[in-house]
């Protein structure tokens, strides 16, 4: 079998097995994979708040190193504006100093606008952050979908999201950054809404940012399981909720779900519970390390 026939056979085999689309989800086999762990900057939001900061992003990276994480997720909200090339270089140097990977750059945006100035602004912002992500060496940028504008059906709004992501994909591919759509309420409050968008995007440069705390339906685990095969990255929360009731997340169940889906990227702890993060984060890191080693 020559190379062309081999590739053709591989494509047919993947289709026959019903492997997930898009290509960013990958055709990965399940296994006992040793996961690397990252910490989301949002976990330290009470210290990073730019209105009264007591911690800089550089210091956050140092803290990730001190705690023993493998990576740091650097959220847009805590970058001093305007962002300079010098500042990005300092963050890269801080990561190198601590032996860490920059695992993601979550941003805030809305892609449910119809064609026009508002949509153009959001697309421009995402493209600018793709450049920041590329300069940082971050392989993933977390993006939002948004809520349907007043008077717009959710199905129509999801089509707007597809159009906006498609407008960003060529630049993402050029910079080598995957666009990771988060299940963050609005038109992606359910797995069905997420999949409607992800299945419409046929590109290896788009996937899901699976946030384990963001589905609030009767069975959030079932919702998560549906989108994990599309994961470009995952954010694990220590608490979940179902129909308004909060409860402690079943971390072993979540990690096993990731393994079963063949996910092999970073697991990012995004801590949002009430306990003081300086005390809670090291304890949750230890628990995740035992589950993922």
- pLDDT-derived band at 28, boundaries 50, 70, 90: low
Confidence check: pLDDT of 94 > 80: yes
Helices marked H in the chain: 3-17, 45-48, 57-67, 85-97, 117-136, 154-175, 191-198, 220-227, 251-261, 277-292
In the chain, where the domains are located: 38-292
- Nearest 5°: the CA angle 60, 255, 198 is 85
- pLDDT-derived band at 32, boundaries 50, 70, 90: confident
- pLDDT-derived band at 262, boundaries 50, 70, 90: very high
pTM of the predicted structure, to 2 decimals: 0.90
Are the C-beta atoms of residues 168 and 136 closer than 8 Å to each other? no
Q: Determine how many CB atoms are found less than 10 A away from the CB of residue 95.
A: 24
pLDDT per residue as tens digits for the range 36-70 = 999 999 999 999 998 899 999 999 999 999 999 99
Confidence check: pLDDT of 243 > 70: yes
Give percent of the chain with pLDDT exceeding 70. Answer: 90
Give percent of the chain with pLDDT exceeding 90. Answer: 86
Confidence check: pLDDT of 178 > 70: yes
Domain 38-292 has CATH 3.40.50.300: no
DSSP 207-246: EEEEETT---SS-HHHHHHHHGGGEEEEEE-SEEEETTEE
- pLDDT-derived band at 13, boundaries 50, 70, 90: very low
């Amino acid at each position: 079998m020559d190379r062309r026939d081999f590739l053709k056979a591989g494509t047919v085999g993947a289709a026959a097995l019903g492997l997930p689309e898009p290509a960013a989800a990958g055709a990965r086999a399940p296994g006992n994979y040793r996961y690397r762990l990252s910490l989301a900057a949002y976990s330290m939001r009470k210290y990073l708040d730019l209105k009264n900061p007591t911690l800089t992003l550089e210091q956050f990276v140092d803290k990730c190193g001190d705690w023993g994480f493998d990576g740091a997720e650097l959220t847009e909200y805590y970058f001093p504006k305007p962002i300079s090339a010098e500042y990005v270089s300092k963050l890269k140097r801080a990561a190198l100093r601590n032996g860490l990977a920059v695992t993601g750059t979550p941003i805030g945006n809305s892609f449910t606008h119809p064609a026009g100035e508002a949509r153009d602004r959001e697309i421009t912002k995402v493209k600018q952050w793709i450049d920041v992500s590329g300069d940082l060496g971050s392989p993933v940028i977390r993006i939002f979908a948004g809520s349907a504008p007043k008077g717009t059906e959710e199905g129509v709004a999801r089509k707007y999201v597809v159009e906006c992501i498609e407008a960003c994909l060529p630049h993402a591919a050029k910079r080598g950054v995957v666009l990771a759509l988060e299940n963050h309420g609005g038109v992606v409050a359910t797995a069905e809404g997420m999949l409607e968008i992800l299945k419409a995007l046929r590109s290896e440069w788009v996937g899901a940012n699976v946030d384990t705390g963001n589905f609030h339906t009767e069975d959030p685990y079932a919702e998560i399981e549906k989108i994990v095969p599309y994961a470009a990255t995952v954010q694990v929360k220590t608490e979940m909720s179902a129909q308004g009731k909060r409860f402690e997340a079943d971390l072993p169940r979540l990690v096993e779900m990731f393994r079963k889906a063949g996910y092999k990227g970073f697991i990012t702890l995004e801590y949002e519970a009430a306990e003081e993060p300086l005390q809670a984060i090291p304890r949750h890191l230890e628990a995740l390390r035992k589950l993922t080693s």
